[in-house]
Structure 1
Amino acid sequence: VKPSPYLERKAREQGVSLPQAQTTHLLGYLSRPEGDGPFPAVVVMHGCGGIRPNTKTYWPQRLTSWGYVVLVVDSFTTRNIDNTCERYLPDRVFDAYGA
């Protein structure tokens, strides 16, 4: 997470360098309804088993038929993770924020 302007200013005043946020590029699948919009948006996150066929097809089709733009976020493929159902699931809140 990018430091706030206040933290950046205090770090400069104190001659301290703040750690740089690491960037992880993820895959995403964008679906949108027909028309010019604007449209409300939904970010879809998968479960511990990763992207399932219904995650990439059923939910985007259903939500776009209701008038939503849908971004399905794949948190695992670029991180070389297959499944986390029986072990630690990474904190993906920043994946959702990034989306």
Structure 2
Amino acid sequence: MKTLLIAAALVATSFAAMAENNNYPPQITASGPSKTRAEVIAELHAAKAAGQFHFTESDMRQAERFSRQQSSSNLTRQQVQQEVIALRQQGQLEIQGDRR
């Protein structure tokens, strides 16, 4: 009798598992042709010029620091890491998602 109950339970659970949604993987629609980096940058500049792009205070501070940096660096990886640690300790570095 126990064997029959166990077999019936297994059959019932297997039917329940087969009753799941069969839309896996989800249908992916084509996104169309993507834009080049130059096109995206041109759109960003146009939005800034039209006043459609808004900066936060944090964005402005980071942009100012970035504009002061040289395009090429002679610093070693260790020097950069020490700089990042110092900026974080001074509260001048904001990293999104950082939970420290």
Note whether the superposition's TM-score is higher than 0.5: no
**Larger RCO: 1 or 2 (CA < 8 Å, sep 6+):** 1
Measured against the shorter chain, the TM-score band is under 0.3
Considering only CA atoms, is the larger Rg found in Structure 1 or Structure 2?
2
TM-score (norm 1): 0.24
When you count strand as a share of all residues, which structure comes out higher? Answer: 1
